[in-house]
Structure 1
Amino acid sequence: MFQTKLRNETWEDLPKMSCTTEIQAAFILSSFVTFFSGLIILLIFRLIWRSVKKWQIIKGTGIILELFTSGTIARSHVRSLHFQGQFRDRIEMLLSAQTFVGQVLVILVFVLSIGSLIIYFINSADPVGSCSSYEDKTIPIDLVFNAFFSFYFGLRFMAADDKIKFWLEMNSIVDIFTIPPTFISYYLKSNWLGLRFLRALRLLELPQILQILRAIKTSNSVKFSKLLSIILSTWFTAAGFIHLVENSGDPWLKGRNSQNISYFESIYLVMATTSTVGFGDVVAKTSLGRTFIMFFTLGSLVKNIFNI
């Protein structure tokens, strides 16, 4: 009876579920566990590879020479290396912004990232301590977006020569910290804002997108687009962090010092901080928020000093 009634309700009428600390931790930890476990695995593989290479040098004739002098094994190994090289070259050509397919992929990833960011803006109107039900139509849309991001991330990973360097790139960090929580939401049948604001960092690719579309041609327009992308990505990302910590409160105080602050008010606070002019009408109350504002103000002051 209850289920029948629930199906007859529109998704706008469905109440938001309360997100417990455990659920929020699951979303956050999925990102950190993915990042650090992946980094550790890559470091271990690199250490093993370097140890093997050193052993080959010490042995002189080593494994490589044996492979090339052992008939069938040698031929199969050479074919494997040749196939891997061709496969990587094709992926690199596919991802290159110099090819039509590469340009389409770059533009598509940017557009979907903006779409995912817009979904975050929509969901940020709800209390941070609440979880969206899977009846919310934006959740499966965001899941499809992140499925494509996962595919694109995999292609970039396979094409990367230095896997560790790739893992630590900004775009990779954005994907690692935003994709896993989406699949956690599919498992839990609910969604939480979490670190999804990091998608705003994709705005840094705006100049490249405009150049591909031939929307900008002069050096001044390129410089302006770069400045605009830096400002917008910084504001949106910083506002997302402030919005999260201020509405959640300090973890060690179990949220007792939290405050209700909208995402728009968070942007206003960040803009006032960037200009080093504080009006005092919107302030950070949590220790995390205040510490972030301190460093953000310091960064703004340093920037202004270097611009003098």
Structure 2
Amino acid sequence: MEEQEQGNSSSPFCLSIRANQGWWPYAVTYTVLFATGLLSLSLILTLTSVSFKFNRMTMLANSKIVPLFDLLFDPQSMTGKVHFTLTLVFNTTYISIMLWRSSTRPLYDCSIADSTPVYLIVETLSSCYLIINSIARLITAKHRIIRWISLLTLVDIFTLSHPFISLLCGYDWLGLRALRFLWLFEASKVLKALPDTINSEDIVKIAKIVSRFIGVWLSSSGMIQLLENSGDPWDAVSDEMTSA
């Protein structure tokens, strides 16, 4: 198995990816997703303020859709408890896969060009549910543009789109997966779905402080590891300019 992985990492396909800085398709996709979402929300906001008919249609749609998604984020309802539990499970799954992948796979994993590994399939399924959660959070937000440019939405864009890009490109870059640790900022909200003996005010405050510290610490460590493994991203550009 190890020999096969080494062979994949030293194949002409994988060598060309490393030589040509294979992270750029991911960076372009992140930028396009963020810009498209921001422009779409801005356009909807503009049409709502200009067109009375469009504003009325938007208000009618919100009155029917938003209450349904509000149940997902109500920690006191059974729907909310199930949703928070599933969100915890899928986020934990994503983080576990990221830790395993960073310790056992190379920076650029080219083995998926031959067959899709199990870890990427599980990561894709986890991302699907978390994308639904992110969309629901955006729909229920009072100020959707502010929600779109918030930290957690940016984390979703940088992490949840990652496995889909890998499947399309035919190789998997370690990437910005470590930013998923910042989801721990929401850990205190999960406690509110637990029994009252666990989610007391003092415990929630302590959990909020501790989870934010751990989230920043682990995500920073992951980004440092990425930079150490990647080297200087402008080396290839400098080499091309020198050779020219």
Q: State if a TM-score over 0.5 links the two structures.
A: yes
**Aligned counterparts of 2:210 and 2:91: Cα–Cα separation in 1:** 17
Q: Which of 98, 101, 104 lines up with 2:82 in the alignment?
A: 104
CA RMSD of aligned residues (A): 2.9
Match of 1:149 in 2: 130
**Matched residues, percent identical?**
26
For structure 2, the 5+ residue unaligned runs are 239-244
Q: Quick check: 1:230 aligned with 2:219?
A: no
In structure 2, relative to structure 1, the CA distance for the partners of 1:131 and 1:241 (3 Å cut) is: farther
C-alpha displacement of 1:27: 1.7
Q: Which amino acid aligns with 1:124?
A: S
* 1:28–1:195 CA contact under 8 A, matched in 2: no
**Aligned counterparts of 1:174 and 1:32: Cα–Cα separation in 2:** 13
Counterparts of 1:189-204 in structure 2 under 5 Å?
A: 189-204=170-185
Q: Which of 144, 158, 163 lines up with 2:139 in the alignment?
A: 158
Larger deviation: 196-205 or 156-165?
156-165
**Aligned counterparts of 1:228 and 1:81: Cα–Cα separation in 2:** 40
Counterparts of 1:175-254 in structure 2 under 5 Å?
A: 175-214=156-195, 216-254=198-236
In structure 2, relative to structure 1, the CA distance for the partners of 1:23 and 1:209 (3 Å cut) is: same
**Aligned counterparts of 1:222 and 1:157: Cα–Cα separation in 2:** 24
Q: Which amino acid aligns with 1:248?
A: S
Q: Which amino acid aligns with 2:68?
A: R
In structure 2, relative to structure 1, the CA distance for the partners of 1:27 and 1:159 (3 Å cut) is: same
* 2:108–2:172 CA contact under 8 A, matched in 1: no
Match of 1:37 in 2: 36
Counterparts of 1:229-308 in structure 2 under 5 Å?
A: 229-254=211-236
C-alpha displacement of 1:11: 8.8
* Greater percentage in helix: 2
Q: Which of 64, 89, 107 lines up with 1:128 in the alignment?
A: 107
Larger radius of gyration: 1
CA deviations over 1:197-232 (Å, ceiling 9, x no partner): 111011122222233223634444333322220121
Taking CA–CA contacts closer than 8 Å with sequence separation of 6 or more, which of the two structures ends up with the larger relative contact order?
Answer: 2
**Aligned counterparts of 2:61 and 2:207: Cα–Cα separation in 1:** 41
For structure 1, the 5+ residue unaligned runs are 1-9, 54-62, 68-76, 257-308
**Aligned counterparts of 1:157 and 1:217: Cα–Cα separation in 2:** 26
TM-score, normalization: structure 2?
Answer: 0.79
